[in-house]
Amino acid sequence: MIDINLIRNDPEKVRENIRKKFQDRKLPLVDEVLALDEKKRALQTEGDALRAARNTLSRQIGALMKEKKTEEAEKVKAQVAQNAARLAEIEKEQPAVEARLKTCMMSIPNIIAPDVPVGRDDSENVELKRFGEPTVPDFDIPYHVDILESFDGIDIESARRVAGQGFYYLTGDIARLHSAVLTYARDFMIDKGFTYVIPPYMIHGNVVSGVMSFEEMDGMMYKIEGEDLYLIGTSEHSMIGRFMGQTLDGDKLPLTLTSYSPCFRKEKGAHGIEERGIYRIHQFEKQEMIVVCRPEESDEWYEKLWSYTVELFRSMEIPVRQLGCCSGDLADLKYKSCDVEAWSPRQKKYFEVGSCSNLTDAQARRLGIRYKDKDGKNKFAHTLNNTVVAPPRMLIAFMENHLQADGSLTIPAVLQPYMGGKSVLLPTRKK
């Protein structure tokens, strides 16, 4: 949610930002916000005046009655009754105006960074940097499920019977590899000075609406029937929600946190869950980075966060690239975002394995997250988030880049301590 003063003082900037995001349907919201804001302030001013008049008129009535000016006192009483009726109307109208104003404000996208490329969708995202040399081996790389099955590492059919499409069982060495990657990622971030957190996996609706737009909420979140609880789509949701309604000590910023959680997503409108694949699924696990900082620090932290993901993947000998997200691919609360994509030797292209975002004060305004600066003034904090690693999608990149011609998987040195010292995994099924 943006600062309403920006809409008051520079509505054209807000309209231009909406156009850059190709959301012209939201342009009327700017005028509606201006009208509602004016109405809200007018009602407040009128209400304050009536409350002040009530006290003045009450004193007049008392004075007139003492002077036995009954007729004049009755006229003032009539005025008091008329004012009370109008005040009741105002107090009934105000909540509706304020609620509609908030809804409109929460629907207007955050102002994007000046260097965000303008484009309609993810097809117009821009490659920024590559890290590591992408290679294609001289043997055919099977589909990732076939690789997993060669290690007896996955059971999709049983998961389909138990939970439906978009779920899986991981078993044996593959399940251990999955956990090893997450544990290594945890320790990697702790070594960067981040505090490890395991958050709640369910959150209230007011937290959901605080951390994401209405469109995202509808397309992602699973709601617990009959309760004001939602399963998290990423630990960012409950991690940022932790600071809702708080005024933080500015001397303790930035807060740098890394969190583990399972993630649950409807993937609504995502053109389905693959028949056999584990690239797009309803349930997965993730290690996340969260930063809450002062506004002047957020650009620097953005650069640090995505670079940590690159460093992690390169330490596991996986080539990656940074892809700048264009305006039309940014969720409404995002000021700037980039994807980290891993190289797929099988597909001979990169695919997304993580996303880094700077939301400036958009989440903080929705959730009321402030900090007290050195002058004692309360200001809205900036929030950022980034994927450290998210298996099983990351496993696809890992397996394709470490698969050998004989079907074995090499284990890079950084993961070997988490794999019982193993340097290679051998398939249990013959080709």
The C-alpha atoms of residue 243 and residue 249 are separated, in whole angstroms, by 12
CA distances from 198 to 108, 111, 193, 258, 261 (A): 32, 32, 16, 9, 7
The pair of structure tokens assigned to 347 is 């597909």
Regarding the domain delimited by 4-107, which CATH topology (the fold level of the hierarchy) does it fall under? Helix Hairpins (1.10.287)
* Per-residue pLDDT at 243: 97
The C-alpha atoms of residue 282 and residue 296 are separated, in whole angstroms, by 37
Contact present, 137 and 414 (Cβ < 8 Å): no
pTM score of the predicted model: 0.90
Residues of each domain in the chain carrying CATH 3.30.930.10: 122-425
* Per-residue pLDDT at 276: 63
Contact present, 237 and 212 (Cβ < 8 Å): yes
* Per-residue pLDDT at 275: 53
Beta bridge partners of residue 134, listed in sequence order: none
- E strands, 236-294, are 247-249, 255-264, 283-293
CATH class of the region 122-425: alpha beta
Q: Looking at residue 403, what DSSP letter applies? A: B
Beta bridge partners of residue 248, listed in sequence order: 371
* Per-residue pLDDT at 311: 98
* Per-residue pLDDT at 274: 52
The pair of structure tokens assigned to 111 is 């102002």
The C-alpha atoms of residue 251 and residue 22 are separated, in whole angstroms, by 40
Q: Containing H/E element for 324? A: strand 320-324
The C-alpha atoms of residue 339 and residue 127 are separated, in whole angstroms, by 9
* Per-residue pLDDT at 301: 98
Burial class, 237, CB count within 10 angstroms (exposed 0-12 / middle 13-18 / buried 19+): buried
Residues of each domain in the chain carrying CATH 1.10.287.40: 4-107
The pair of structure tokens assigned to 42 is 């007018």
The pair of structure tokens assigned to 192 is 């960067």
CA nearest to 196, candidates 185, 211, 208:
185
Amino acid at 95: P
* Per-residue pLDDT at 392: 83
How many Å separate Cα 50 from the centre of its chain?
A: 43
393: left (phi over 0), alpha (psi -120 to 50) or beta: alpha
Per-residue pLDDT of the chain (431 residues; tens, 9 = 90+): 899 999 999 999 999 999 999 999 999 999 999 999 999 999 999 999 998 888 788 778 778 777 878 888 888 888 888 888 999 999 999 999 999 999 999 999 999 999 999 999 999 999 999 999 999 999 999 999 999 999 999 999 999 999 988 899 999 999 999 999 999 999 999 999 999 999 999 999 999 989 987 777 777 889 999 999 999 999 999 999 999 999 999 999 999 999 999 999 887 554 444 556 788 888 999 999 999 999 999 999 999 999 999 999 999 999 999 999 999 999 999 999 999 999 999 999 999 999 999 999 999 999 999 999 988 999 999 999 999 999 888 999 999 999 999 999 999 999 999 999 999 999 997 65
- Pairing of the two strands 336-344 and 247-249: unpaired
Coil, helix or strand for 201?
Answer: coil
Contact present, 319 and 312 (Cβ < 8 Å): no
CA nearest to 373, candidates 255, 252, 241, 240:
252
Q: How many CA atoms lie within 13 A of 430 on its CB side?
A: 0
The C-alpha atoms of residue 305 and residue 303 are separated, in whole angstroms, by 6
The C-alpha atoms of residue 164 and residue 170 are separated, in whole angstroms, by 15
